[in-house]
Amino acid sequence: MSTLIAPAREVVTAADRVAAARRRISIGETLGQTMMMAWRALKKMRRNPEQFFDVALQPILFTAMFAFIFGGAIAGDVQSYLPLMIPGILAQTVLTTCMATGTQLREDMEKGVFDRFKSLPIARIAPLAGPMVADLLRYTIAATLTFGMGLVMGYRPGGGAGGVLAAILLAIFTGWSLAWVFTWVGTIARSAQAVQGISMMILFPLTFLSNAFVPVETLPGWLAAFVRINPVSHLVTAARDLANRAVVSGEVAWTILACLIVMAIFAPLSVRSYKRHM
Amino acid sequence: MSITELGRTGGGPAPNGGTDLAVRAEGLMKTFGEHRAVDGIDLHVRPGEIFGVLGPNGAGKTTMLRMLATLLKIDAGRAEIFGVDVAGNPHVIRQLVGVTGQYASVDENLTARENLWLFSRLQGIAAPRARRIGTELLGQFGLEEAADKPVAQFSGGMRRRLDLAASLITRPPLIFLDEPTTGLDPRTRGQMWDTIRGLVTDGCTVLLTTQYLDEADQLADRVAVIDHGRKVAEGTPDELKTAVGNSTLQLQLAEPGEVPAAVEVVRRVLGSDPVISPERGRLNVALDQADLAADVLIALRTAGVSISSVSVAKPSLDEVFLALTGHETDEHDETGTEENR
Ligand SMILES: Nc1ncnc2c1ncn2[C@@H]1O[C@H](COP(=O)(O)OP(=O)(O)OP(=O)(O)O)[C@@H](O)[C@H]1O
Ligand SMILES: [Mg+2]
């Protein structure tokens, strides 16, 4: 510890440092810092693998459960319900996965290391966006398992491998964009429990008031109206078209548009309230 | 050459030779709800010195440091670091200041080496250099053996060392240390002191807070004493001691019950009150001249107050604190040895 006074070291000069200091952060630096934060989040996931339990279990349990509970009532038999249901489960698992983003961010923000992140000359968005990049891995696992479980139960997607892959990619993109809503909740709520509560209140209407599990035609008018504008409905329809028929419908564009709007609103809001936390 | 001597020279030639102060704060203020945590503090820290901020729990030390480090908004007043406005250029300030907070701010889920790697890379240091700096710092702070263990398994002292190492990655010209030795054992504490003195030899300026009076005395070139968000005194440790009196007569009464009588006698002889020390039956009497001690002792003898021991000493910063704030330093309203969270 006492070898700090190494003779070879040149002395720190404050005036030079002030002159050399950069005034703002470039886009390139922001991306690099975000990737470092993603690296950190991945390391954390690897050391706490229990984080993957919900991601892994939910698609498996839900697929089996929903198929047997609703399958008979809605589509007559399980086999014909699967093409309708699997894209719905896909949307739901991806959304549940992105809900965890907010809770984990909140827990993380209460740790000492966030104090250091705040004191470093780095982009304020990096500590928020980094974990979300790492979460792409979780979405991928959740989406793949959903389809895998569907295949096991006898689902034979008409869209082939290409259609399924496209549906998975779209679901991942949607999950990633909607995660900004939960990230924002993570930065405004007082505790991790509060984040959990608020996120549930956002998540349930989004998934259940969509066409994920029931055809819209069976719903009363006012409910059908909300279901039609819900971005999750667009995702579900787009994913059905892709996976079952390999058709890139206008719903894909609607989904992407809805996601971009959500991001444009909630990414700046999140950064703003993260800054206010200081 | 001993490290101690190096440290005490207080930086020698000012590293930037310029007129800019390392820290210039005027009328700094922070209010939490109704409570004014920092209430108009002025601070002038010269380049190349170790400046100590001394105060009891809740005095506002951490709040003040966090405002200067851009971690908290400055409610009123202004602050400059090396001539750069803190509120106006937070990004520049963050490049100039290394912050070691009161609680270790390193990542529990990463190893020591990974922590240093993360913070280096975040600050734009290229991979090979980041790796080298990591190894170097781990060596300097005696963490080589634990380098690849997760920080969650570290002891409090190891975390503190890693935390300081992480603040030194870019060798910032100004370093904030918030209670750097709280919770360290005496040996580790001594090592930390050596490290801090070493920073100054490297050309850094150090602003540290402490509740330990001997720490300020040992390390700091100049000290500001703060209490209830206000600065109550400032100067070199020696100046502060002298302000209280050139020397102190320390009296241990045979009968603790005779304290009021002794206070009465001292007041009659010197015209001022002694400081009643937290220990039972202990009085500290500030003296302008050491020979006044004899007058006090004779008067006590005449009054029939018996004394079990007597000494004349330079006042400690403890007494400085008592005299300046009118209360003792060990008024713990929180647990004193909060470790890292
Ligand atoms: N975020 C906050 N919200 C509300 N009050 C706060 C906050 N931070 C600090 N305070 C209050 O401000 C006062 C000063 O706190 P501060 O942490 O600056 O003291 P300190 O001198 O660092 O004490 P210690 O030696 O215990 O670390 C305290 O009364 C504290 O309760
Ligand atoms: Mg403090």
Query: What pLDDT is attached to residue A117?
Result: 93
Residue B173: CB atoms within 10 A of its CB come to 28
**Whole-angstrom Cα distance, residue A201 to residue B152?**
34
H/E element holding B37?
strand B35-45
* Residue A2: pLDDT over 50: no
How far B188 CA sits from the closest chain A CA (Å)?
Answer: 10
Mean pLDDT of A14-18: 82
Q: Pocket residues for ligand 1 (CB within 6 Å)? A: B 32, 35, 37, 55, 57-63, 102, 211, 334
Average pLDDT, chain A: 84
With cut-offs at 50, 70 and 90, classify the pLDDT of residue B13. very low
User: Per DSSP, what are the bridge partners of residue B234?
Assistant: B224
Q: How far is CA A234 from CA A142, A224, A227, A241, in A?
A: 19, 13, 9, 11
**Whole-angstrom Cα distance, residue A229 to residue B77?**
50
Query: What pLDDT is attached to residue B269?
Result: 87
- What DSSP string describes B238-253? HHHHHHH-SEEEEEEE
With cut-offs at 50, 70 and 90, classify the pLDDT of residue A149. confident
**Whole-angstrom Cα distance, residue A152 to residue A163?**
18
Query: What pLDDT is attached to residue B52?
Result: 94
Query: What pLDDT is attached to residue B245?
Result: 67
With cut-offs at 50, 70 and 90, classify the pLDDT of residue B12. very low
Across A61-70, A247-256, B5-14, B125-134, which has the greatest mean pLDDT?
A: B125-134
* Residue A9: pLDDT over 90: no
* Residue A1: pLDDT over 80: no
* Interfacial B residues in 168-197 facing A (CB < 8 Å): 171-174, 191-192, 194-195
**A6, closest residue in chain B (CA to CA):** B202
Query: What pLDDT is attached to residue B315?
Result: 67
Query: What pLDDT is attached to residue B8?
Result: 32
Q: Atom 17 (ligand 1): residue with closest C-alpha?
A: B62
Q: What are the structural domain ranges in chain A?
A: 38-276
Query: What pLDDT is attached to residue B328?
Result: 54
Percent of chain B's residues with pLDDT above 70 = 85
Distance B101 CA to ligand 2 centre (A): 8
Query: What pLDDT is attached to residue B151?
Result: 92
Note whether A133 and A38 are within 8 A (CB): yes
Structural domains of chain B in order of their starting residue, each with its CATH number: 23-240 (3.40.50.300), 245-325 (3.30.70.100)
Closest by Cα among A9, A8, A11 to B173: A11
Express each pLDDT in A38-85 by its tens digit: 999 999 888 888 877 777 888 888 887 877 776 666 656 777 778 888
How far B37 CA sits from the closest chain A CA (Å)?
Answer: 16
Residue A91: CB atoms within 10 A of its CB come to 33
**Whole-angstrom Cα distance, residue A105 to residue A101?**
6
Task: Enumerate the residues of chain B whose CB falls inside 8 A of the CB of residue A25.
Answer: 91
Express each pLDDT in A196-232 by its tens digit: 888 888 888 887 788 877 777 777 888 888 888 788 8
Record the pTM. Answer: 0.80
Query: Which residue out of B31, B34, B39, B61 has the highest number of ligand 1 atoms within 8 Å of its CB and is therefore the one to mutate?
Result: B61
* Residue B329: pLDDT over 60: no
Task: Enumerate the residues of chain A whose CB falls inside 8 A of the CB of residue B193.
Answer: none
> CB distance from A8 to chain B under 8 Å?
no
Mean pLDDT of B187-214: 89
Query: What pLDDT is attached to residue A18?
Result: 85
Phi, psi of B106 (to 5 degrees): -125, 165
Average pLDDT, chain B: 83
Mean pLDDT of B304-331: 71
Express each pLDDT in B207-257 by its tens digit: 999 988 778 888 999 999 998 899 988 888 888 777 666 678 888 888 888
Percent of chain A's residues with pLDDT above 70 = 92
Query: What pLDDT is attached to residue B175?
Result: 95
Token pair of B302 as six digits: 């005449």
* Residue B335: pLDDT over 50: no
* Interfacial A residues in 18-77 facing B (CB < 8 Å): 18, 21-25, 29, 32-33, 36-37, 39-40, 43-44, 47-48
